[in-house]
Amino acid sequence: MKLLSKRSIVALAIIIIIATVAVARFVRRENADELVTEVQPARGAIRAVISTTGDVAPQNRLELKPPIGGRVDEILVREGDKVKVGQTLAWLSSTDRAALLDAARSQGPEAVKYWSDVYKPTPLISPIDGDVIVRAVEPGQTVTATTPVLVLSDRLIVNAQVDETDVGRVKVGQQAVVSLDAYPDVKVPARVDHISYESKVVNNVTIYEVDILPKEVPDVFRSGMSALVEIVETSKDNVLCVPLEAVRRTKSGGVVLLSRGNGKRPVDHKVVLGVSDDKNVEIVSGLTADDRVVISSVKKKVSKGASAGRNPLMPARH
């Protein structure tokens, strides 16, 4: 057998390449449907938000401990009550007074009344305006000077945890919306009140704690509840916008496929982009509400009996 000439080998190689490309294009066309839709820019609201989680907590948590050791005679408040500075929250007997009254009870009610008037109980006074969030003891319980009797909170906030990659977008005063895991339908307007200066590492992620202050604390708020927080970075109303998938971002700006109608091929058209959220992007200039933008996407499908990754030049096995 004569050896093939060099020219014949090159021609054969070209034929094989052309056949391979043709088969590959045929397979791609067979296994992919191009979905083409047209949309018109529409006016609406766009909100760029930073979503994170947190928990309800007192901004300032104050434990009230008795000035003396002894016994709790009476507690005048319960959890959830609002208190004022200077308000008496509980009455306590010192150890000596409690022992004296116990001894007087064996002598009758007149002795108890006498010693109760002579040896006055000690009041527990609220040092702040706030809410009672913990009632730690009950009347009759013995306490020491280190035992918390009540826990007060000046106000309940949401302590949000913001990733270090997002904290640069957070500013004091930004608006926010809080929803609780326990009450997902309750949306609480709030604002950013404070951004911590020191980071923490949680599950190997560096985070910063951000205080989210509700405009009004609803009755359903409880310390320790988990919350979802959306911090509004940017908000615009009545702006012209298109779906995100309609825009290609390039070094020189945004580009959309502009429909020319009458079966004509759509053309690339430059636009100036503004803010965006997870669905839409603002069109600052370059489009009007009467334009039509083409969104082209490919929906892949697998031929019946075909397996992914099969070489189109190999025969199918049966």
Domains annotated for the chain, with CATH where assigned, are: 32-46+237-300 (2.40.420.20), 49-58+155-236 (2.40.30.170), 64-153 (2.40.50.100)
Whether residue 30 has pLDDT greater than 60: no
pLDDT at position 13: 57
Token couple for 45: 């609201």
pLDDT at position 296: 79
Whether residue 237 has pLDDT greater than 80: yes
- When pLDDT is averaged across residues 193-217 and rounded to a whole number, the result is 94
> What are the residues whose beta carbons fall under 8 Å from the beta carbon of 79, sequence distance 6 or more?
132, 133, 134, 135
- When pLDDT is averaged across residues 112-141 and rounded to a whole number, the result is 94
pLDDT at position 219: 87
Whether residue 138 has pLDDT greater than 60: yes
pLDDT at position 10: 54
Going by the DSSP 8-state scheme, the letter that residue 69 receives in this structure is -
- When pLDDT is averaged across residues 222-248 and rounded to a whole number, the result is 92
Scored b (16 or more CB within 10 A) or e, 66-92 reads: beeebbbbebebeeebebeeebebbbb
pLDDT at position 15: 59
Whether residue 222 has pLDDT greater than 80: yes
* Of 263, 273, 216, residue with least CA distance to 243: 273
The amino acid that residue 57 corresponds to is: A
**Average pLDDT over all residues of the chain:** 85
Strand partners, 198: none
DSSP secondary structure, 196-239, as one string: -SS-EEETTEEEEEEEEEESS--TT--TT-EEEEEEEEEEEEEE
Rounded Cα–Cα distance for residues 248 and 38 (Å): 15
CA dihedral 65, 71, 74, 79 (to 10 degrees): 40
Whether residue 315 has pLDDT greater than 50: no
pLDDT at position 313: 43
* pLDDT tens-digit readout, 238-278: 999 999 999 999 888 899 999 988 878 889 999 999 988 88
Whether residue 69 has pLDDT greater than 70: yes
Q: Which residue has the higher pLDDT, 267 or 301?
A: 267
Provide the pLDDT confidence category of residue 35 given band limits of 50, 70 and 90: confident
Whether residue 298 has pLDDT greater than 70: no
pLDDT at position 200: 93
Whether residue 162 has pLDDT greater than 80: yes
- When pLDDT is averaged across residues 197-208 and rounded to a whole number, the result is 93
Whether residue 312 has pLDDT greater than 60: no
Provide the pLDDT confidence category of residue 31 given band limits of 50, 70 and 90: very low
Whether residue 308 has pLDDT greater than 90: no
